[in-house]
Amino acid sequence: MSASIIGTTAVLLNTVTLLAVVGGHEVTNLFEVTEVYAHKGDDWTMVALSFTKLLTPPGETWDPSKVRSRERARPCQCLFQDRLRSLGSRLRDPTCTSTGSSALLHADRTRHMPTWFITGCSTGLGRHLAEALLRAGNQVVVTARNLRDVEDLLSRYPGHAYGVSLDVTDQAQIAEAVESAIERFGQIDVLVNNAGYGYRSAVEEGDPADVEALFATNFFGPVNLIKAVLPGMRARRRGVIVNISSIAVRITPAGSGYYAAVKGALEGMSGSLRKELEPLGISVIVVEPGGFRTDFGGRSLKQSPEPIDDYAETAGKRRKENDTAHPSRGGDPAKAAQSMITAVESPNPPAVLVLGAPTVGMFRDELDARRAELDAWEEVSSSTGM
């Protein structure tokens, strides 16, 4: 058996059984590969640990102190072949051109993250992301309130797509879904909190029950999912959490006060979470999309039942019956999905990923406006010292 692994440092060993081709040279014994790397200093030691960890059978606890143990280097042959092929296919990528330890560590951290758990896969960005990942051969936990909405994905990608019915406002369902996903795939490497919906209303018009439901879905649902997956990620000292937000947090449009508030809560929590998890090897990414060709303006958008006439020229213009924005003018959700995958697989993922060229412009304009206002009021702001 052989596999081409591109972008790693070449190692030559005088051994007999061919297992892989690394950097164009034959490497023949996994145990000897780990020993050679282990003797090359700290950087190469980490490469060895990553390689050995990659080939650890599911259900076993990886112990770095046993990196030279022959038992750790001998998973069953079928498992070894499967994982070596998986590693080879993921590193056969034109974007992975670096050599040495960083390439293999990169592979261990991102390209070998086979299990994604995505909420809200029935439509929109969640569905496009799930489909892109499945086409690439990843394992994806595809969740939706109604599994009939994702039956086509489950049937087209058997063995890679695992469907779970999930209402993110139900803590018991969250616990069951995460447990079921781990039983099926062994672990969750990437959590994407995508499920949610929009809400338009002047602040005065907002119905308390509607606002409470909005926060239950768009904020507390993601929080409870994060809490459910973090024990496993902390134990492995790796993982990625992706929280889908909105450019509404930056531009705070009239009529979107509550939606901007719930996404602002999600972003504020994500910023603190990122600082808490970064030392543990876990990344947190906030995604701020603008307008895309999805059904967000249809069934994924709710609004206050009783408009107030005084807000007709502000919040009223953005009510569903008055909004003239056409969904066909938005960005391509398939390209948005690829951008999210690129961010997750990056060795330096962004804290905030803005999606859409118009959205980048809005983000930059808002930053410039805030900076100008800060400068204009600097003297007053700084006059508060004792």
Annotated catalytic, 256?
no
Annotated catalytic, 283?
no
Q: What are phi and psi of 192, to 5 degrees?
A: -115, 110
Q: Which of 50, 122, 201, 245 is catalytic?
A: 245
Judge contact between 296 and 356, C-beta under 8 A: no
Nearest one of 284, 152, 185, 281 to 225, comparing CA atoms: 284
Q: Is the dihedral of CA 293, 286, 103, 132 positive or negative?
A: negative
Beta-strand pair 4-5/198-200: unpaired
Q: Which of 256, 259, 283, 304 is catalytic?
A: 259
Q: Which of 37, 162, 263, 283 is catalytic?
A: 263
Q: Which residues contact 257 (CB under 8 A, 6 or more apart)?
A: 201, 202, 203, 206
Annotated catalytic, 157?
no
DSSP 3-state assignment of 5? Answer: strand
Judge contact between 86 and 108, C-beta under 8 A: no
Amino acid at the residue 11: V
CA pair distance 352, 379, nearest whole angstrom? 31
DSSP 3-state assignment of 154? Answer: helix
Q: Is the dihedral of CA 226, 232, 233, 237 positive or negative?
A: positive
Nearest one of 205, 122, 134 to 168, comparing CA atoms: 122
Amino acid at the residue 91: L
Pair of tokens at residue 284? 């947190």
Long-range CB contacts (< 8 A, 24+ apart) of 11-20?
11/36, 11/37, 19/80, 19/84, 20/84, 20/88
Pair of tokens at residue 112? 């070998």
Residues belonging to the active site: 245, 259, 263
